[in-house]
Structure 1
């Protein structure tokens, strides 16, 4: 991962998980974790993707553009981009987070990618942040252009279960927390008392959609779809 920053402290901050700062004590290091940069980067990323979709798709409705954007900025997609950049290798984590697999956790990778986007914006401006996002996400953007507007995974799951005669799935909030600017939700989708998918997101709806996507993968695989 080669990134050039005029202000190297922004890069250090973008790679600092909150758990890392908790264990720094008197050691030198970044003064903040990546949380504030991630908050900024989330908005910058959303605007960059929105502008790109708007320019490319004059034929799509607001609703369809919203679906495309949601698919591109969801945690799972951003985590995939971060893995391709080998971003996890450069994260600074606390010992507890490291020992529980935090270096390859989707939420950490997605947050760090957004933090890097925010850091690029502060360091070199919106044009540089745009180049960073479109350059690193080119594969995902082109893929979704080829695939077209994605269908809502919750609707797809409902249709699949109805088609196979299964019981109606329900969504169960397992965990929620974090400050107002950095909320996180964990959700399970349950069918006939059995958990068939789990999801995480910054909104409850995003977590439900991720859980539905995971459930779809399991059900379609077992059914040979």
Structure 2
């Protein structure tokens, strides 16, 4: 009787499909972005369906039936599938992730008589704030001197003289030059004119 039970037990075990789970993959995304949850389903049994779901709590994302009918869960408006482009690509695109999407996702399908499970752990991070270059000051910082280190405030540099201090001498010089020129012209006219007391000699006087 014992010899009959052992072969019967082996037959029962061989008829039950086994399940294998791959190593959990980590995916990091920023809040508000779209992320791809990978699932490589090469050589999967196309006569069997596959599905995506979340863990803790367990929630169905979608399930593709053998008839290619899709049973959607609560992610219909946020999930894009790639299986229509390639039957060996069961990955999905999750849109506009939030802090609530921080959980573990599993993709399960059947390959021959083995149930394969791919697990993805999604970590959602807040996008780091970027510094605005427009608010940065372009004025270089003052180099500390010995006096500033001692607490001595340097005096203000002397202000340049105003422009009218340079205009006054120029105007005065022009007036002097004009006055001297006028005197010179008057004397020159007097030198060139004949003296009224002197009469010119006639030709008879010369004889």
> Under a length normalisation based on structure 1, what TM-score does the superposition of the two structures give?
0.17
Query: Could you say which structure has the higher strand fraction?
Result: 2
Q: Which has the higher contact order (CA 8 A, sep 6+)?
A: 2
Of the two, which has the highest radius of gyration? Answer: 2
> Under a length normalisation based on structure 2, what TM-score does the superposition of the two structures give?
0.18
Query: Could you say which structure has the higher helix fraction?
Result: 1
